[in-house]
Structure 1
Amino acid sequence: YELLAEVGEGCYGKVYKAREVGERQRLLAVKKFNIRGEASQSGIPAFMIREVALLRKMEDFNHPNVVDVMLQLLRGLDFLHTNLVLHRDLKPENILVSNCGEVKIADFGLARIHTFNMALTPGVVTLWYRAPEVLLNSVYMSSVDMWSVGCIFAELFLLPLFQGCTEVQQLQKIFVIGLPSETDWPADTPISYSPSWGSKRSHTKLLPNLEPDENDLLSLQQCLAFRPSGRISAIKALSHPFFVKHSRFQL
């Protein structure tokens, strides 16, 4: 590949816009991993093995909505979740858009296959797109990706919705839109519930420039629901009136 330009940087490497050398001359996204000097003694890093293995697994399914073939974000995410894959780092930099408007989910460096009683890594997902249950060190599931989708959706219309510099500040910014009830507070979090976290008044309209359907999809009852079990899934989101009214988004 001929590297043309750097388009993003993550924990484990950089992503480049590249051109395939040869007859096809396709434009592609190429990820270059950072391998520290000690790798020659310790072998290939585990994170690289995990990401390559997951990408190969997705490629074996030959689904048209992940990484190197065409997708729309929710369709690809529904496919991942159906196959028990949590992406765990959805953010604008990891959603590639081709010059034909095709959306591609990229960067599986933090992705995992979800299994019963699996050990869940805290601190996953870039801070601005991190779900409350992750910030609270609570149990999480595929709905963490849907919280990220909500944050990305809001960012398409405005600036990032929650721009914290620390985990505590990120929670405080989330609770500006409404403090959850104490009964909704996760029982397994080491962080105690306090009314001082924010206002109990919840905002039904998060962004003033959005249409009713757009605001509903982004609401505290859908993508940005505090309780993971109450958060909308990718497959249900695809049936939301916002997508249904646009025929090109229909299933």
Structure 2
Amino acid sequence: MTTRHKLVVGNWKMHGSHAANAELLQGILAARPFVAEVAVCVPFPYLSEVAVTLSNSSVAWGSQDCSAHVQGAYTGEVSATMLAEFGCRYAIVGHSERRAFHGESDQLVADKAKAALAKGITPIVCVGETLEQREAGETEAVVKRQLSAVIHALGQCIGEVVVAYEPVWAIGTGRTASPEQAQAVHAVLRAQLAAATPRASDMKLLYGGSVKPDNAAILFSQADIDGGLIGGAALKAADFVAVARAAS
């Protein structure tokens, strides 16, 4: 039996300011030490100040996206090479908001994950179904299709990524998958990964979707849930700290 350390990642989305960031980060740093690994994924303009604030601490940082391209005429894109210069440990790829609002395909998400890994950045690959897909009984097929593209692109390197299951219907809605629903999907993903790499039992699978201090512990206690990708609760230090502590 493998004992996996928990990982809790805050996704700030398009939130933040110099003042708010400083207050939030100081609140997180003041609560150390954490048993779980803790990280924050922040908007691109704030990577420099976050890197300075968190340097020499146990809290890691990362980006909310990563270009599939190394460099070139791609206005508005940010490459993994650039992210690496800011010391990013993680890059979120394939978040449902990117898939929905920016039309990102499974293949593009896979290419982004490959680009991040090539520069030593761990991609947090997001998968998840819409409410319509869940009600149609398509949850397993959808998440397996999304993950399959990444497995195909990375081969044995798939063992180096983090996978986050985020049911679209639970993101920012206040609705949360029950612990049993979340675990069932995580078990499907773990089995799919096990068919692709012997490292599957050591890989971190996160849950995201309205995780809060009052439901984090029961979600994180499930056999295949190794922490969370946290949205709204990551914007308040007290809430994020409580979620991080629940992962221990």
TM over 0.5: no
Q: Work out which of the two has the higher radius of gyration on C-alpha atoms and give 1 or 2.
A: 1
Q: Give the structure with the larger helix fraction.
A: 2
| Structure with the larger RCO, 1 or 2 (CA within 8 Å, 6+ apart) | 2
Please state which band the TM-score falls in when normalised by the shorter chain: under 0.3
